[in-house]
Amino acid sequence: MAGARLKDVAERAGVSIKTVSNVVRGEGRVAEQTRRRVLHAIAELDYQPNASARHLRTGRSGIIALAVPELVAPYFAELAAEVIAAAKTRGCTVLIEDTGGDPAEELRIACGLSDPLIDGVLLSPLGLDETMLANRGRRVPLVLLGEQSYEIPADHVLIDNSAAAREATEHLLRIGRRRIAVIGQPPERAHATTVQRMHGFLTALHAAGVPHDPRLVPHTREFTRADGAAAMRVLLALEDPPDAVFCFSDLLASGAMRAAHEHGLRVPEDLAVVGFDDIQESRYSVPSLTTVSPDKQEIAELAVDAVLHRITNDAEAPHRRLTAGHDLLVRESTGTEAPRT
């Protein structure tokens, strides 16, 4: 609906104009169900706040938004620093948003409603439904980060998680480990990241002729140190515990190593541990952590360049999947591989 007004959104959603205003600004107390209804109405009507419309008529602000599920998580904090650096060299400013993984908040930011002055959005979605995102309309250029797969008109920057997990598992197999556990599989529906990493893990086992034992994959709700420690304790209670563990994040690995230490195990002699993310903490832990290192600088530069290209050149071009590199950094938690012959 061209030229939709605040009043039109309110009528479509069956709420007051004040409620719509609160949702757009992210202010006030609005029931979750009501907030979702308003966001659906905004997407359906392609409503543009007046300030945003004025901005689009007069030029660009040089501000892009970066929205992540949890800024306190070291990986996202380090990625945000790289995005800020990449944007600065290109003459842009970054507005950081912490969504908490809330799908309604993710949609609000994806629609460009977090600030009427932003030129584009970099979004790492966690809970956002693809249908909601597909119906957002072309408000601001959007670039997605991470492994969630959406068939929508937006560029997508990611790493090859399946290949990275396969390489990590192959490393553990090369050092002679055969009962390899996985920490990071959720109890309910797995998201794209865990699906891809589990696929790479199983591919490596199958290629090596090593059977997969489902008991070596305890359920893990979050990617935290506490969850890693809890999962490791479950594994150590098995009659035949693992001799290696592949953790889907460095924080999980940190917790797993703590639990192993409390159990009297030595890393890597009794238990080899591999993480994922290469956060700064992993380089200085004792022992230092072998980990998959996504190229955060390349991710940031690809994402910033992609959104700036959409802003300044061709917003209608077919969307692209841009793959950044990764490395497996072998450190003390797995020891040294024997030379290959």
Q: Which domains does the chain have, with CATH numbers?
A: 161-294 (3.40.50.2300)
Q: How many CB atoms lie within 10 A of CB 253?
A: 32
Predicted TM-score (pTM) above 0.75: yes
In this prediction, residue 32 carries a pLDDT of 80
pLDDT over 70 at 2, yes or no = no
Instruction: Determine contact, residues 125/106, Cβ cutoff 8 Å.
Output: yes
Q: pLDDT tens digit string along 136-162?
A: 655 688 999 987 766 777 889 999 999
Query: How distant, in Å, are the alpha carbons of 70, 74, 144, 199 from that of 10?
Result: 31, 40, 29, 45
More confident residue, 161 or 129: 161
State the sign of the Cα–Cα–Cα–Cα dihedral 302, 303, 308, 309. Answer: positive
Q: Which residue has the tokens 């409390």?
A: 262
Nearest to 64 by CA among 39, 42, 91, 98: 91
CA distance from start to end of the chain: 67
pLDDT over 50 at 110, yes or no = yes
In this prediction, residue 24 carries a pLDDT of 73
Q: Which residues neighbour 316 within 8 Å (Cβ) at sequence distance 6 or greater?
A: none
DSSP 51-79: HHHHHHHH---SEEEEEES-TTSHHHHHH
In the 8-state DSSP scheme, what is residue 185? B
Q: pLDDT tens digit string along 261-315?
A: 999 999 999 999 999 999 999 999 999 999 999 999 999 999 999 998 888 776 6
